[in-house]
Structure 1
Amino acid sequence: MRILTIILIVFFSNCQSPKKEYDFTFYKGNIHESYYLKFNSSDTLYYINSYPYEEQTSFTILSSEEKENIQNILDTITFPKEEKFTNSLIEDGETNAFNLKIEKQNKKLMIHGHMGPKHFLSFGESLVKIKNLHEFTRTNKKFDLSIFNKILNAPPPPIIN
């Protein structure tokens, strides 16, 4: 009986609620740089540099604190219903885009000209800081980033009569 009790205690003390599996990609683009940061619930952060011509993929290993901070934000962040926030007075400038896949849900957001939810702008800045703290190692790994073609496509210019 004691052995069964000990086994049950050990078993239930090791049970934790399952962590969500994320497939998260952040895009930052402006006149000086264009890149993606990809995070997928592991401790690896991928950096896909798409500036100036061909994509080059690199990776780094996040500290447990960095990984946990990103996961905590992804656990709590709420995507707005509106998927695009743009400042029509700015023709170029900085664009940040976020794409989060959790199970079968796909949430996306594009912010251009700093005209969007402030908590997303802050999250983007924190990701850039993490990127800047690390050295990345080149890899041949490829990612399907075609979802960003839909997110980043600019609206057609107005027709002038």
Structure 2
Amino acid sequence: MRICIVALILILSGCKSPMKDYDFTFFKWNIRESYYLKFNSSDTLYYVNVYGYKEETSFTILGEDEKERIQTILDTITFPKEETFENNLIEDGQTNAFVLKNGKQSKKLKMHSNGPDQFWRFGKSLDVIKNNHVFIKTNKKIDLSEINKMVLMPAPPILSQ
């Protein structure tokens, strides 16, 4: 009986709580760069460079610590009720957008020049991860339709003459 109890304790103490399966997309735009990062709880990070009206997709493999750091932030970060933080002035600056899907639940945030500090810090940490990796080009198409609804401006209406 003692052997069974010891075995049960060892099994239960060795179990980790299951990680949530996320589909996360980050967008960054400023006058010098425009790109998306896509993370889906695996060790692969996709980078889609859209600067200069091109679309080049590449990928890299994250280190275990980087993957866990991103996963931990996604587990703990709290999205505000407002989905957009931007001012009405036309100005240079930086836009960051975040879309986090977990199952059927989706959370979104778009910020330009202002917004929650924790998201600005998260964006900077993702930028550091991107800059510390070498990416390999791929022909894989990344679905950016949901985040593009937030970040792409609709075409102006055509005026009839």
Q: Does the alignment reach a TM-score above 0.5?
A: yes
How far 1:95 sits from its partner (Å)? Answer: 0.8
Name the counterpart of 1:34: 34
| Cα distance in structure 2, aligned partners of 1:3 and 1:78 | 44
> What is the TM-score with the length of structure 2 in the denominator?
0.86
| Cα distance in structure 2, aligned partners of 1:78 and 1:50 | 28
Q: Deviations over 1:120-150 (max 9, x none)?
A: 0110011001110111111111111011222
Q: Deviations over 1:17-71 (max 9, x none)?
A: 1111111110001222110011111111111111223311111111111111111
Of all paired residues, the percent bearing the same amino acid is: 65
Name the counterpart of 1:54: 54
How is 1:101-140 mapped onto 2 (pairs within 5 angstroms)?
101-112=101-112, 114-140=113-139
**What runs of 5+ residues in structure 2 fail to find an aligned partner?**
157-161
> What is the TM-score with the length of structure 1 in the denominator?
0.86
Name the counterpart of 2:98: 98
Name the counterpart of 2:65: 65
Name the counterpart of 1:145: 144
| Cα distance in structure 2, aligned partners of 1:30 and 1:24 | 20
How far 1:5 sits from its partner (Å)? Answer: 5.1
- Structure 2 contact 33–51 (Cα < 8 Å) conserved: yes
| Cα distance in structure 2, aligned partners of 1:87 and 1:155 | 18
How far 1:15 sits from its partner (Å)? Answer: 2.4
How far 1:117 sits from its partner (Å)? Answer: 0.6
Name the counterpart of 2:159: none
How far 1:11 sits from its partner (Å)? Answer: 3.6
| Cα distance in structure 1, aligned partners of 2:60 and 2:152 | 29
Aligned length: 156
